[in-house]
Structure 1
């Protein structure tokens, strides 16, 4: 028994040492990454100390730490954080992200009610400083953020780790192939993998998680709530337009999809000259680029930041703000969700469905495999094989109010039926939450 444990510890030490050495040797690339991204998104030039767990402030009291890599994961975590902020106002929350857009979303949702820093790189020294500074009582990691040194560091300090809303596509599983011996050991340290689906749970087991660590709780994205004041928002939108106009939205689009959006809008306007495009690129650095690209087509282009609302003269309206996408989904007759005409893997299809907007998407949906399958089977989604097919689906729906209504009903019903992951998640992590305190200084 002792020899077996020694061999296991030695194997872990060797794998961790090789992994950490590789990260240290690659450290200059992290600086290059920050600089190169900074030329496109200036926020990447800021707060470098946090990337290496160098903090000026003194440590605070122990916290519950939640990590969500970017906007999508922050939105998925929102029901959990919101519920616990209401139920347990005594808890100190620290939320980490990797991207500036994720950081902005954290601030938009919770302001100063939570602390936010960037997750440090998975270097042993940075991990140790992060855990020593924040002293997490509990760690909640969203979806598929698997950093071995951080997981081992939490185990070594007795911090229970839950991977919430856990998903792992076949493609991601293949991507972890080289690190599987190390990732498997790291994953066996976590308290629980709360999987979105049985398939996700099975793939986590193939990566190294024990069967008894996996619980299939469903997808937290189904527990999404419509934005407060949505009805009034839509009324203001329509009042600004003046006369009724057909509206479609291209949401979460990526750079390689932008020409397709322009081509589709031109094609749709050939039949419906009054058609308005709402355009919400995935990344803020693309806001001005898509505005310029649409203006170059000869269209009159408005933006949320400059014009507030589109009027009867606008052909395209760029949603160049964060946190308002669901509200603008509610203003559209039909939605195209991007990240799906390229092998990005798609983006959240449930947000438009939750506000009653029919959804069209491209074929690349590996990040939303289970959701897209269920929506397709329910009649709440149309999947185009390519940009031309997406355009045809949008054109058909714009001309068929009955079909739009049927898809809207199916989408709303599917979201309602899928709810429940939030309750199950809160029950799961409840025993490891810190004991209540009577007074928060």
Structure 2
């Protein structure tokens, strides 16, 4: 085992680690004790749910409250927490508590796991991640419990507070509101101030990334001292949230929002913009949205959250890097500059690779699913992007897909969580191409 550990690359360790967690979760979910009816769950349904949980996606083939017992819900919640924070972060924190020495290789794997830019101070960052996670989830759970207890009773209200707080912070999108309406999510709470504000706040905080937390806690409100990464993440996140909400309101104000009060319209617009950034909850019927709203949601889902966070997608920084690169080329500038800083060429190459890889997987999966079943293009593409971006929003076709389509979505959720680029690099192993440049020759572009 020790020899195998040394032979594997850091990316391979992460890839294999998530596979083992998903398989273990599947075994637990297959047990009769995990289902509400006390019967075993088929392997594929258990595997799909375990993958969706560990990859913090939220797509479901069975309603979480209706099908799963309390034990099954706890298993799902544990998988969400592990998937959201990263198993290496939890492992390192346990080692810290037990006063074990953290080796250089383990630090490297942790750096890769949380997408940190440097290995120095990585253990200290892991401590901050744990403390921050406990703080935000605890506050969120308390506020949600105060809302649920009067309706569901003390113990059930507390459990609902904990479950939805962890699910929201980890951008998972799993909910237990099937007790009111199966697959309904929070549609009955479109105008609820506490539910909307707490869930949205947890989604945003979990989706901006652990590095941004660290930067903000160090420099407080001294924005000038923020790193370039933090500035890009915070600005892009704000623009996407407000522009997404405004566009959703303009598109749906005479349709799905028409019969709502002004408060419900505002909350629903912002909630749809925020949750599309890889969270997966919904306060409006996704299937009833206008085609243009669905397309807007797909764009937001494809972009996703920020690097080193609980979110998926190509990430906000990838979007900005590519936009700046295109702008620089159109203006025939020698460098790509943003916030008075020059972008590294490696970041541009990586951003291009991430975009192309995700586009390739999305297009291929959409073609495969449409060839297997007679779903429309919009619903199929929506489902695929939701899985690839680990979002969990659906127009309702998830529970009707065939076995092979489930396998395709499982693969997409897995790639979306560990990163399509990480998965591709894990296949490379330790081999590297020789540093030899071939003769250059021009070709026509465009």
TM-score class, shorter-chain normalisation, is: under 0.3
TM-score under structure 2 length normalisation: 0.24
Higher helix share: 2
Q: Relative contact order: is structure 1 or structure 2 higher (C-alpha 8 Å, sep ≥ 6)?
A: 2
Higher strand share: 1
